[in-house]
Amino acid sequence: MRARRIAAPVFLAAAIALIPLSKTLAHHGDAGRYEETITTLSGTVVALQLINPHSLLIFDVVDEATGQSVRWQAEISNANGLARIGWTRDTLKPGDLVTMSGRVLKSGAPYINLSERSRLTRTDTCEELYYSGMIFGEPPDYPAPTCD
């Protein structure tokens, strides 16, 4: 009987201790979700959402085949990391033109990941706003986009 009284709290404590580990593993379980090739898109900013765990950039891209505007989402780093490199809610405003390179979803949904081998620039000035590794001070190991 005494063993049951001890076992239950020990089991409960062990289960609670493993919760953060399970969330950490689940959070980064996107293997196979994105194309390995890098896609470059240009579009017009609709909204910037500086949120955690990942900020979102909502933008419209004109589909070259149909001429229709398609609403895209770009997943960027977390709000705190972006703030460390100087981002504010005014860094990108509706109507700003942006060009980005990253990996798109394999499903074909209009969603691009800017966490690996990615860049985000202002289309009109070619100002580089973000590249993967920027928050940690790591220079990119891939070429910058060319601007006309």
List the domains of the chain with CATH numbers: 39-136 (2.40.50)
Within 8 A by CB and 6+ apart from 47, the residues are 56, 57, 58, 94
**Residue pLDDT, tens place only, 49-102:** 999 999 999 999 999 999 999 999 999 999 999 999 999 999 999 999 999 999
* Confidence category of residue 105, pLDDT binned at 50, 70, 90: very high
Give yes or no for residue 39 having a pLDDT over 60. Answer: yes
Q: Which of 71, 82, 75, 77 is nearest to 43 (CA)?
A: 71
Burial class (CB in 10 A: 0-12, 13-18, 19+), 53: exposed
* Local structure of residue 53 (DSSP, 8 states): S
The whole-number pLDDT of residue 5 equals 66
d(C-alpha 128, C-alpha 138), whole Å:
14
Token output for 135: 């928050």
What three-state secondary structure class fits 134? helix
Strand partners, 75: 56, 113
Q: Which of 17-21, 101-105, 121-125, 139-143 has the lowest mean pLDDT?
A: 17-21
